[in-house]
Amino acid sequence: MSYTIEEKEGVLLFTLNRPERRNAINDELMEGFKEVIHYVHTHDTVRFLVITGSGEKAFCSGGDLAEFHSLVTEEQAFSMLSKMAEILYEWATLPIPTIALINGAAVGGGCEIATACDFRIIAREAKCGFIQGTLAITSGWGGATYLFERGLRHDRALKMLVDAQVYDSAQLEEVGFATKIYDGDKFVALDQFIEYMRKINPGVHRAYKEIEIRKWAEKNLKQRVMEEVAQCAKLWEADAHLEAVERFLAKSK
């Protein structure tokens, strides 16, 4: 199975389990996201949703180009991109706190997933980056839209996007992307992070999330996300992207 879902003491843990592919997203993992979202909406016992990656090297490397490289037209790209963008929008607007427990590299779409979470707890040795620009495309799951909503200073958020480089944990903390940097065991770090939250009535958490969700509704967040998807889809079918993907796949062999 390419993912696991486990609830324990109010924490729902969603683990991406494709370490041999650096936990890259494929159709099966997209279905896993849907399963998790449905679980949250149907189980009042869940207080926190945590996503992490299996293994020690990667949180998530984004979309699996080995599976998605056959998508070459704007229409084909939009179909895949919008599917994941819809999923991430549902994720971002869940009524409970969401936490990205980043155990390793979170790049491309993996960085977008982390950005869609409320909090990002990042291993000191981990790196994150919106590297889509190196493939001649933009973020395509709504990541840029969420990044500009996360309170980073505008110039720092924009530079993170246009640099298309990976940032180490110190840089991520400096620009405000990291909520917390941790050393050692990731689950110990998680327990420490939610220690005080656990003591608060979950109705309080849901009320504060609703405030954020109302703000996003007023600012047409979903429409802006889908416009971001459309822009990426246009770039996807361009020769510059198709050639960059071929170079990447050749290098990966």
Residue range 22-30: mean pLDDT, rounded: 97
CATH number of domain containing 45: 3.90.226.10
pLDDT in tens, 166-199: 999 999 999 999 999 999 999 999 999 999 999 9
250 pLDDT higher than 90? no
Would residue 86 count as lying in a domain? yes
166, two tokens: 């990976």
What is the average pLDDT value for the chain, to the nearest integer? 96
Q: Judge residue 8's burial from the number of C-beta atoms within 10 Å of its C-beta, 0-12 exposed, 13-18 middle, 19 or more buried.
A: exposed
Residue range 80-89: mean pLDDT, rounded: 98
Q: Which domain holds residue 128?
A: 3-186
Residue range 210-222: mean pLDDT, rounded: 97
253 pLDDT higher than 70? no
Would residue 230 count as lying in a domain? no
Percentage of the chain exceeding pLDDT 70: 100
pLDDT in tens, 48-67: 999 999 998 999 999 998 88
Question: Measuring CA to CA, which residue among 47, 55, 54 is closest to residue 10?
Answer: 47
pLDDT at 166: 98
138 pLDDT higher than 80? yes
pLDDT at 182: 98
pLDDT at 97: 98
37 pLDDT higher than 90? yes
pLDDT band with cut points at 50, 70 and 90 for residue 18: very high
Question: Measuring CA to CA, which residue among 172, 197, 34 is closest to residue 114?
Answer: 172
Would residue 224 count as lying in a domain? no
252 pLDDT higher than 80? no
C-beta separation of 102 from 114 below 8 A: yes
Strand duo 127-129 + 48-53: pairing: unpaired
Would residue 41 count as lying in a domain? yes
Q: Listing from the earlier edge strand, what are the strands of the sheet with 119-123?
A: 3-8, 11-16, 48-53, 98-102, 119-123, 180-182
Which is higher by pLDDT, 235 or 247?
235
Would residue 248 count as lying in a domain? no
Would residue 179 count as lying in a domain? yes
Question: Measuring CA to CA, which residue among 120, 184, 192 is closest to residue 150?
Answer: 120
What is the total count of domains within the chain? 1
